[in-house]
Amino acid sequence: MATLSLGLAAGSGAESLRTASLRRATTSASLPQYHLRMHHLHTGEDIDIVYRVGDTYIPAALDQLNYFLRDHRTQDVSSYDPKEFDVLHAIMTRLGRPNGIIDIICGYRTPESNSFLRNLGPDTGVAEHSQHMLAKAIDIRVPGVSTRALRNAALALHAGGVGFYPVSQFVHVDVGPVRTWSFR
């Protein structure tokens, strides 16, 4: 009888583990996944990643995104505010392209890179206290989407700064204070 009792206990324990695993898998499967596909125009690198499931950011995915968005001049990596990735995801969803590719013009910039770009002249549009240096800004394009439509999608979110650069054909999106501007 002890054996039967142990067998039942072991069976019950195993059954509980299977049930718990199935419950976790079912719960994870029902949670929304936040996915980004990007191409970096300066490094030629691509990333296709799920960075968040439900309300939980995936640390390894955030590390990969931080590296992908590193300062391509110095190779320095910073820690992005994950809300910036949520903004990108929301823009792509708003555009009806949740699996579309985002072209990255600029991600993180060290203060030295920012200064270098500012010193190229007044036509650069580089801010002295840029959100890029805080890892809170990204300059983007979306192939097949006009710069104006991209800007409008970003503006509709009211999630931070949106800069419109129609001549250079990109949009700046950041998670700093809500504000807008156009450059040339």
| % of the chain surpassing 90 pLDDT | 65
The two tokens of residue 146 are 């006009």
Q: What predicted TM-score, i.e. pTM, was given to this entire model? A: 0.79
Q: How confident is residue 36, by pLDDT bands cut at 50, 70 and 90?
A: very high
- The answer to whether residue 184 scores a pLDDT higher than 50 is yes
Question: Is the pLDDT reported for residue 21 higher than 50?
Answer: no
In this structure, are 173 and 156 located in the same domain? yes
The verdict on 15 and 89 lying in the same domain is no
User: Same domain, yes or no, for 21 and 48?
Assistant: no
Q: Are residues 92 and 46 in the same domain?
A: yes
Query: Are 156 and 112 part of one and the same domain?
Result: yes
For residue 133, pLDDT beyond 80 = no
Beta bridge partners of 47: 38
Q: How many domains does the chain have?
A: 2
How much is the average pLDDT of 39-45? 97
For residues 60 and 111, membership in a common domain is answered with: yes
Do 82 and 36 sit in the same domain of this protein? yes
Let me know whether 17 and 37 are in one domain: no
Q: Which of 8-17, 18-27, 120-129, 136-145 has the highest mean pLDDT?
A: 136-145
Whether residue 18 is found in the same domain as residue 55 = no
d(CA 131, CA 64): 20
Nearest Cα residue to 113 out of 69, 146, 158, 63? 69
Provide the pLDDT for residue 79. Answer: 96
- Separation between Cα atoms, residue 87 and residue 175, nearest integer Å: 8
Residues 21 and 63 in one domain: no
Looking up residue 161, the CATH number of its domain turns out to be: 3.30.1380
- Residue 112 pLDDT: 83
* CA gap 80, 12 in Å, rounded: 45
- Of the two residues 126 and 180, the one the predictor is more confident about is 180
| 134 and 58 in a common domain | yes
As a whole number of Å, the CA-based R_g of the chain is: 22
Q: For position 92, what pLDDT does the model report?
A: 98
Shared-domain flag, residues 72 and 147 = yes
Q: What is the pLDDT of residues 107-131, one digit of tens each?
A: 998 888 777 676 676 666 666 667 8
120 lies in which domain range?
32-182
Given this model, what pLDDT does residue 183 score? Answer: 83
User: Given a cut of 70, is residue 140 above it in pLDDT?
Assistant: yes
